[in-house]
Amino acid sequence: MVNQTRNAPPFDLTEYRKALGGFATGVCVVTTQSEDGGMGITVNSFTSVSLDPPLVLWCLDDKSDRHDLFAATERFAIHVLPVEDREMSDRFAWGTCRLSPEEFDSSNPEPPRLRNALLRLDCTAHDRVRMGDHLVIVGAVQAVESRAGDALTYFRGRYGVAPEPAA
């Protein structure tokens, strides 16, 4: 087990957080069903863990109002956003996090599938590991769908674009 020290690190945490923004990422929305309908959360902590078996992870802040819902869910979908879905990223970060029924493919309500993603991974919860102030959620991938398109990126607190490479 990793020894999690509670000693203050020898650097400024605000500067550290800012420095971490130097890692350019894509932007994802994770969705799940709740008693109140489909819910989403914007994350950029997504990464692939294992190809065989196919496992992925993302990290959930324990300060999020949506923590308890996503920490407990057994089925979720990870959507990699295209550049045109920047408003969707803002909305699932700071705005309305509930999906209206017409926003997802009702033929498969669980986990809710957003229609425009570059990549969608339907997952079942494989493991959950508390690490400091985040919960690492590992998903076993049950279904995959992907398409070509320009990706939304996040770098130093700003959105950008990673163009689809020319064939």
Ligand X SMILES: Cc1cc2nc3c(=O)[nH]c(=O)nc-3n(C[C@H](O)[C@H](O)[C@H](O)COP(=O)(O)O)c2cc1C
**What is the binding site for ligand X (CB under 6 A)?**
27, 41-45, 58-61, 64-66, 89, 93-94, 154
Q: Please, which residue, 32 or 42, has the CB nearer to ligand X? A: 42
Minimum Å distance from CB 143 to ligand X? 22
Minimum Å distance from CB 59 to ligand X? 5
Total residues found in the chain within this entry: 167
Is 55 exposed, middle or buried (CB count within 10 Å of its CB: 0-12, 13-18, 19+)?
middle
Q: Please, which residue, 11 or 94, has the CB nearer to ligand X? A: 94
Strand 119-131 to 75-80 pairing: antiparallel
Q: Please, which residue, 57 or 141, has the CB nearer to ligand X? A: 57
**Structural element, H or E, at residue 9:** none
Q: Please, which residue, 10 or 157, has the CB nearer to ligand X? A: 157
β-partners of residue 41 are 30
Minimum Å distance from CB 88 to ligand X? 11
Q: Alpha helix locations (H) across 52-117?
A: 67-72, 86-94
Minimum Å distance from CB 10 to ligand X? 25
Comparing C-alpha atoms, which of 44, 103, 127 is closest to residue 78? 44
DSSP state of 11: S
Q: Please, which residue, 40 or 111, has the CB nearer to ligand X? A: 40
Minimum Å distance from CB 49 to ligand X? 15
